[in-house]
Chain A
Amino acid sequence: MKKGVLILVCGLVAAAAAYGCIYFACTASARSLQRTDIPELAWLKDEFNLSDAAFKRVSDLHAAYLPQCRDMCREIDAHNVKLQALLAGATNMTPEITGALAESARLRSGCQSMMLRHFFQVSQAMPPEQGRRYLSWVKEKVFLPDYGMPNEK
């Protein structure tokens, strides 16, 4: 009986140990990505198999883009406050609301142009095949016309 119980326990311990070892070994890459200073860029390097040189070019482009992005965020936020104030007391369309909506559209278009320019630059900093894959992925993520609706795939 003792021998049987010992075998039973050994089997369970072996299974648990195998599970733990494999799990930690196979998630090591994901954990190391999360531990980096800029995890999203580390992910980009890993996902698109970038060389160190290509990654340096992409990182420089990323760093140069972020201030523009922040400026755009501020502009959008300021405009949204204005639009909300106009909409708060409105019961009819007014020329001010029409103007504010046109400005929203202009801002969105400017924002999309800025992003698209950056995505093209980043894709050109990558090896051609990876650049194409990157563009296809990022266009789907940012320009997919879902109008805020959940994807039905």
Chain B
Amino acid sequence: MKNNEPGDQEEALRKVLKEWRVGAALPPRFQEEVWRRIEQAERAPAPIAPSVRAFITRWIGTVLPRPALAASYVAILLAIGVTAGWAQAHQETRRVKNELGERYVRVLDPYQTPRQ
């Protein structure tokens, strides 16, 4: 029972550690390698990607399914789709009409008519 006292245990551990000897040799340039790794770890930027990913995942899982937000999200994307489609179509129509206008002139003007 006496051996279970905390002071005795510490004493025993200290004794064991004093007697402990490491037989294996250190790998070559061990210390230098340790310092290199420490420096490398200090230079490396803080890993932000996982936290951003976690934030997005959490947002999709918990915030997006709220009915009001989900409806707004779909409505906004729908509006973006409609606007982009209209703008692109407007541009394409104008391009085609300009091209046909030019073609009309080319057909009538012998100095612009394409030769075979």
User: Residues on A close to B: CB < 8 A?
Assistant: 1, 3-5, 7-8, 10-12, 14-27, 29-31, 33-34, 39-44, 46-47, 65-66, 69, 72-73, 76-77, 108, 111, 115, 118, 137-138, 141-142
- Evaluate contact between B64 and A8: CB separation under 8 angstroms: yes
**A9→B77 CA distance, assembly (Å):** 11
Inter-chain contacts of B110 with A (CB < 8 A): 69, 72-73, 76, 111
- Evaluate contact between A40 and B107: CB separation under 8 angstroms: yes
Question: Would A30 and B107 be within 8 Å (CB), given that A7-B73, A11-B73 are in contact?
Answer: no
Inter-chain contacts of B90 with A (CB < 8 A): 26
Inter-chain contacts of A5 with B (CB < 8 A): 60
**A77→B109 CA distance, assembly (Å):** 13
- Evaluate contact between B77 and A14: CB separation under 8 angstroms: yes
Q: Is the interface of B mostly helix, strand, loop or mixed?
A: helix
- Evaluate contact between A11 and B77: CB separation under 8 angstroms: yes
Q: How many residues of B contact A (CB 8 A)?
A: 40
**A43→B103 CA distance, assembly (Å):** 10
**A34→B96 CA distance, assembly (Å):** 8
Q: Is the interface of A mostly helix, strand, loop or mixed?
A: helix
Give chain A nearest CB distance to B104 CB in angstroms: 4
Inter-chain contacts of A44 with B (CB < 8 A): 104
**A17→B80 CA distance, assembly (Å):** 11
**A30→B93 CA distance, assembly (Å):** 6
Interface-central residue, B74, B76, B108, B115, by most chain A CB under 10 Å:
B108
Inter-chain contacts of B33 with A (CB < 8 A): none
